[in-house]
């Protein structure tokens, strides 16, 4: 399997590690005084590490009442209204962190579009989004995945090459509904008895919350998820047969069953007075039926195995760990944007316009890494202004000397 960045899509994510970024920029701009720039890189890293530390403390505190992995107890009583306020506070904290990590919102429209597509791997699932009070999806980095899969048109005897779009990173937040709430919605919609609906839901949808004191919110991070397999990540996925499989089972199973039934009738008519022959004929027909049923269960097991494999190998982190992971990503992206903007401006003593800086940085990424990137130049300049690094002369921007920049960062470092 091979995964390559999709160069037809311009993203604001900088797909270069912070450690490598400076080295390649120094070579690209032919900068000789490398030690000072490396000192600046380390000072910036410490500054943003400390800046995001309080965000980490605050978001951990906000998530604690909703963390399904928590192993602590509390005597603090929280009302339902207070829970709702804390829940909204958590969402308000998560959104800017994801934005700083250069994640994009995966809209409901995009999600619904993928629901009507079948994976080229033969897996098709459905999701009932009404089972959730809250669903949030964000992604970062789009790629093209190339692979070899069995070709159904050639009876799976040979393989075909496929290319499909992939989300490099995917953030998921879900909050399941209470069983009572979902049962009432269905009962009111379909005019059914609520107790019967609850009984059915209890058997079919164990993800629904039965304990009103359970306020769990689940957060997960995944990697390299094909667009058409997004539904596989939800805990209430329902495996379905593809159209090809239904036709195949209908033709093979139907033909076999009809043929077997005809043979059974012929044998029973001949062996009407021979009980042993009759029993053998019935047994043979039962064997035919079992083979068709077994084929259905084999297909379902095959699908579930693919589903488990996706979740096992593509999961990066969960719940509180996922939030910590996201803050680390945000820290790295903020550091990279600031470093790029400063280094390029530092090499133009007469200054650069914002547009000139934007073009120069995007050209560097294209020429060195062959990736079309949409650098957030306004964001980069904003960070430099906040640090006091920028000198503005009639629309031309320059930066203070590197020694002064390091001193400012060190001064900020001692405040924590």
Q: Do residues 338 and 380 make contact, with C-beta atoms less than 8 angstroms apart?
A: yes
For the whole model, what pTM was predicted? 0.80
What is the model's pLDDT at position 67?
A: 95
- Alpha-helix residue ranges (DSSP H) falling in 64-214: 80-100, 108-115, 179-190, 194-204
What is the model's pLDDT at position 111?
A: 80
CB burial class (10 A; 0-12, 13-18, 19+) of residue 259?
exposed
Q: Do residues 413 and 50 make contact, with C-beta atoms less than 8 angstroms apart?
A: yes
Per-residue three-class SS string for 348-375 = CCCCECHHHHHHHHHHHHHHHHCCCECC
Domain ranges of the chain: 2-11+21-34+333-413, 48-238
Distance in angstroms (rounded) separating the CA atoms of residues 66 and 69? 9
Find tokens 């000139």 and name the residue.
356
What is the model's pLDDT at position 273?
A: 47
Q: Do residues 323 and 219 make contact, with C-beta atoms less than 8 angstroms apart?
A: yes
pLDDT tens-place values along the chain, 416 residues long: 555 666 667 889 998 999 999 999 999 999 988 999 999 999 999 999 998 998 999 999 999 999 999 888 777 788 889 999 999 999 999 999 999 999 999 987 888 777 666 655 555 677 888 999 999 999 998 888 776 666 666 655 677 777 788 899 999 999 999 999 999 999 999 999 999 999 999 988 888 998 888 899 999 999 988 887 788 888 887 766 555 555 555 554 455 555 555 554 554 555 554 566 556 555 554 665 556 555 555 655 665 666 666 677 889 999 999 999 999 999 999 999 999 999 999 999 889 999 999 999 999 999 999 989 999 999 999 999 999 999 998 889 999 999 999 999 988 765 54
What is the model's pLDDT at position 311?
A: 72
Q: Which sign does the torsion angle of CA 340, 341, 346, 351 carry?
A: positive
The Cα-based distances of 360 to 202, 273, 356 in angstroms read 59, 94, 6
Q: Quick one: DSSP state of residue 177?
A: P
Architecture of domain 2-11+21-34+333-413: Orthogonal Bundle (1.10)
Best CA proximity match to 336, nearest among 108, 25, 109, 80:
25
Q: Do residues 210 and 204 make contact, with C-beta atoms less than 8 angstroms apart?
A: no
Find tokens 């069953």 and name the residue.
257
What is the model's pLDDT at position 28?
A: 96
Distance in angstroms (rounded) separating the CA atoms of residues 301 and 298? 5
Q: Quick one: DSSP state of residue 11?
A: B
Per-residue three-class SS string for 178-244 = EHHHHHHHHHHHHCCCHHHHHHHHHHHCCCCECCCCCCCCEEEEEEEEEHHHHHHHCCCCEEECCHH
Distance in angstroms (rounded) separating the CA atoms of residues 173 and 87? 12
């Amino acid at each position: 399997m091979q995964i390559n960045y999709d160069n037809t899509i311009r993203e604001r994510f900088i797909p270069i590690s912070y450690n490598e970024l400076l080295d390649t920029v120094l070579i690209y701009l032919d900068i000789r005084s490398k030690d000072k720039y490396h000192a600046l890189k380390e000072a910036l890293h410490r500054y943003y590490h400390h800046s995001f530390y309080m965000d980490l403390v605050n978001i951990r505190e906000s998530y604690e009442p909703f963390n399904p992995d928590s192993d602590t107890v509390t005597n603090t009583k929280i009302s339902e209204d207070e829970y709702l306020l804390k829940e909204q506070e958590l969402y308000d904290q998560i959104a800017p962190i994801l934005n700083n990590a250069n994640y994009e919102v995966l809209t409901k429209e995009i999600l619904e579009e993928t629901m009507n597509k079948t994976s080229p791997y033969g897996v098709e699932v459905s999701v009932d989004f009404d089972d959730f009070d809250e669903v949030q999806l964000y992604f970062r980095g789009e790629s093209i995945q190339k692979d070899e899969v069995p070709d159904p048109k050639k009876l799976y005897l040979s393989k075909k090459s496929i290319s499909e779009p992939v989300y490099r990173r995917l953030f998921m937040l879900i909050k399941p509904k209470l069983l009572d709430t979902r049962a009432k919605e269905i009962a009111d919609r379909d005019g059914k008895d609520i107790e019967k609906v609850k009984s059915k839901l209890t058997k079919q949808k164990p993800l629904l919350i039965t304990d009103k004191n359970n306020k769990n919110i689940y957060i997960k991070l995944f990697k390299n998820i094909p667009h058409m397999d997004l539904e596989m990540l939800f805990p209430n996925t329902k495996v379905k047969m593809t159209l090809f499989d239904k036709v195949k089972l209908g033709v093979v199973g139907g033909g076999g069953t009809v043929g077997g039934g005809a043979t059974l009738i012929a044998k029973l008519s001949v062996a009407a007075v021979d009980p042993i022959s009759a029993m053998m004929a019935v047994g043979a027909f039962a064997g035919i039926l079992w083979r068709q049923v077994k084929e259905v269960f084999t297909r379902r097991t095959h699908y579930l195995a693919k589903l488990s494999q996706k979740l096992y190998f593509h999961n990066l982190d969960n719940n509180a760990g996922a939030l910590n992971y996201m803050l680390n990503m945000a820290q790295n992206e903020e550091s990279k944007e600031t470093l790029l903007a400063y280094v390029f401006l530092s090499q133009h003593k007469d200054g650069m316009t914002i547009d000139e800086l934007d073009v120069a940085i995007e050209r560097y990424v294209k020429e060195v890494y062959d990736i079309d990137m949409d650098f957030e130049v306004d964001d980069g300049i904003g960070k430099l202004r906040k640090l006091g690094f920028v000198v503005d002369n009639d629309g031309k921007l320059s930066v203070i000397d590197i020694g002064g920049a390091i001193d400012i960062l060190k001064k900020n470092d001692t405040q924590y």
